[in-house]
Structure formats: C-alpha cells, structure tokens
Amino acid sequence: MLLRALQVVSFRNLATATLVPSTRFNVISGDNGQGKTNLLEAVYLAGTLRSFRTVSTQELITWGADQAHVRARVERGEVERVYEIELYSRRKVAKLDGKTPRTLSEYFGDFNVVLFAPEDLRVPRGSPVGRRRFLDRSVFNRRVTFLADAQRYARVLKNRNVLLRAPEPTSDLLDVYDAQLAEIGARVLVARLRYLEELRPRFAAAYEAITQTGLEAALRYESSLTFEATDEKVIRAHLAAALAAARRRDLARRQSTLGPHVDDVVFLLGGHEARAFASQGQLRVLVLAWKTAEIELLRELHGDAPILLLDDVSSELDAKRNAFLFDFLDRIDCQCFVTTTHPRHVHVNQNRQDFRIVNGVLETP
C-alpha cells in the first residue's frame, strides 16, 4: 500500500500543501510548531476520518477559513483510489473516488494507517482511558466495523448517564438503554478480546527480539465483568445482568459504573504489572513491541504493510531501540512518514526522501 500524493488546503497551519512522497522513508523535519505533526494528522484523517489530536472539526481548519480540504491518492495492488475529506466547522464530508460512500465500511478497509506518537510511550504507566484509546485505535485498524460500534456505544452511554442524573429517572427508558448497552457493549468487548488474542504472541516475540532478555512480555484485559468465554451472546447476557444488578449503585453515583468504558488493558513483564516496577526504558520497549506486533498482524492479514506515521518518536527512544525500529521497518518494506526536529535524528540512509516545513510551508531541501 502506498500514499502516492497528499494535498491539503486550509488544514491547521498548512494553508496549501502538496506532498509527493517516496515509496519508503519520508523524513519531515522542522522546528516545533511549524506543522510537521499537522501533515501526519492529515494523512491519518484521510485514512480514518478522525484526528488523533482533537474531536473538534473546527480546530482542523485554518484560522479565518470557512472550510478545509484533504485529498489522498492511494495505491494498493494495481488499483488507485482517491480519499477526500471536506471539513466544515461542525461536520465532515467524506468522498471516495469523487463519490459519497453509502456506508462508512465502503470508505474504510483499503487505506490502513498506523500511528506511533510520543504520548504512546507513556501508555503503560498512564491512565486507563489512555490505554483504552490506545487499544481501540489498534482494534479499528484490524476491524473497520469497530469504529461504528464504539461510537454508538459512546452515544448510548452518554444518554444513559444523562438519565441517571435526572431528578426522576424513568425505569422504562433505563431498560431501553441497558438493552442497547448490553448489545453494543458485547460487540466492543469481543472485538477487543479477539484482537488481543491475535496480538499477544506477536507482542511477546517482538519484545524478546528487541531485548533478548528472556523476560516474558504479556497483555491482560481487565474487565468490569466476570466471564470465561468470548462468545458475544454469553457476554451480552453477562453485561445485561450486571447492568440490572448495578442499577441502584449507578443511580446513587449518577453514572454508569461498569462496561467496556471502564475496562483496562495491563502490560505485564515477567508476570508482574509493568507500570508498577518496570523501568522507563522497559515501558517504552513494551509500546515499541506493541506497534511492531500491530504492523506485523496487519501485514499478515492484508498481504502488505500499512502506512506508518512516526511522530517524533526517534527522539524518545535510545539508540538501540531506535535502530531496532528502523531495521524492522526496513525488513517489512512499508511506507513511512517520520517527523523530527532535525534530519540527523532519523538513522536511515537509503530509500529516503527529506522534506522540511517552515511556517506551514512544505519544502524539499
């Protein structure tokens, strides 16, 4: 899979920019605040219809402009497709090959983008909400229908919480929301669990390849429910029963206290929770192993590697881990976009194209 060209108009501080990248490593350098991450954000938006930095569409539009436009020409196999997003203050309009897709699933699937950002390196020791987002971003890359389920779950959850805070919550309406949460929550939960089943062996192998210490790396999903099977019907029944049993508590606390929105994924090292005892270096290697495993999984599933966006990660990794990352990327033959404050921080000498951004203007040195 290759991004052949990217065009943006009035996106963030990129008034107008056209990127015609190399098929391998594209190094985008510039001082902080010049627009490096904005360029990666535009690529990510084209592939996922979401920003990895904000939920506000207005923030993506250049100050003073009424709208923004992102257009990506992507090649997969021998087929080229054009992905376009028009951004307005309160909405987005997506087009595929010049036409509005009938469903989101038509848009997704052939443009896979994996992001690796500095904040990802802090995930193992960060908040549960950060780990859930980190996991869900990976699950979406694996299963495009997951996004719609996750968004619908969030809407029902919000409505249920609003009702719980009402002066006199209606039991009949709570019954409706509980049934919806059980149905959609089961799908979200099963998608997460099945993804982790696929990722675990690759994650453990990647950690050992990086460190060669014999220390086992693992992942554990911590749910607010108690269940053994990963069958969707079984989990839906468990969740429905748990919501009914927790209703009095939820009414007292005026919020929904169980479900996928309070679950967590735990990084383990040598059988112990890494966030409690692992060094900063070990924690970063765990995230590097996750990203390596994620790319490998997508490559095996689709027959080619996803497009990788590395947002100033090289400055956060030591020389050994940085060398492993780029050696791995070189071996799997994927197209990479790497931002950095200085080109010398990226230790790639072959198959490399350099760009520079100054005040939102993209230049080729």
Question: For the segment 203-224, what is each residue's pLDDT rounded down to a tens digit?
Answer: 999 999 888 888 999 999 999 8
* CA nearest neighbour of 294 among 66, 123, 75: 123
295 in Cβ contact with 114 (< 8 Å): yes
Q: Are strands 336-340 and 25-29 parallel, antiparallel or unpaired?
A: parallel
CA pair distance 119, 127, nearest whole angstrom: 12
60 in Cβ contact with 12 (< 8 Å): yes
Q: How would residue 323 be classed by pLDDT, with cut points 50, 70 and 90?
A: confident
CA pair distance 44, 199, nearest whole angstrom: 22
For residue 66 the two structure tokens come to 């009424």
Query: Stretch 38-53: mean pLDDT, rounded?
Result: 93
The rounded Cα 251 to chain-centroid distance in angstroms is 33
The CA distances from residue 348 to 269, 285, 289, 310, in Å, are: 31, 20, 20, 13
Identify the pLDDT of residue 199: 97
CA pair distance 289, 104, nearest whole angstrom: 30
Residue 239 has pLDDT above 90, yes or no: yes
Domains in the chain with CATH codes: 1-112+306-365 (3.40.50.300)
On the CB side of 283, how many CA atoms lie within 13 Å of its CA? 19
The rounded Cα 20 to chain-centroid distance in angstroms is 24
Identify the pLDDT of residue 328: 83
Query: Stretch 133-160: mean pLDDT, rounded?
Result: 93
* CA nearest neighbour of 109 among 244, 260, 1: 1
Identify the pLDDT of residue 214: 87
CB 214: neighbour CB atoms within 10 A? 7
CA pair distance 297, 300, nearest whole angstrom: 5
161-199: pLDDT as tens digits: 999 999 988 999 999 999 999 999 999 999 999 999 999
Identify the pLDDT of residue 99: 92
Query: Stretch 229-251: mean pLDDT, rounded?
Result: 92
- The pTM of the full predicted model, rounded to 2 decimals, is 0.88
54-96: pLDDT as tens digits: 989 999 999 999 999 999 999 988 899 999 999 998 899 999 9
331: left (phi over 0), alpha (psi -120 to 50) or beta: alpha
27: which strand partners? Answer: 338, 354
14: which strand partners? Answer: 11
Identify the pLDDT of residue 180: 97
Please calculate the CA angle 241-246-249 and round it to the nearest 5 degrees: 170
Identify the pLDDT of residue 365: 67
The CA distances from residue 281 to 241, 312, 318, in Å, are: 42, 17, 8
Residue 293 has pLDDT above 80, yes or no: yes
Please provide the average confidence, as pLDDT, over all residues in the chain. Answer: 91
CA pair distance 124, 285, nearest whole angstrom: 10
25 in Cβ contact with 332 (< 8 Å): no
Residue with more model confidence, 263 or 144: 263
6 in Cβ contact with 43 (< 8 Å): yes
Any alpha helices (H) in 212-279, and if so which ranges? 232-245, 247-253, 274-277
Residue 139 has pLDDT above 80, yes or no: yes
Query: Stretch 222-236: mean pLDDT, rounded?
Result: 86
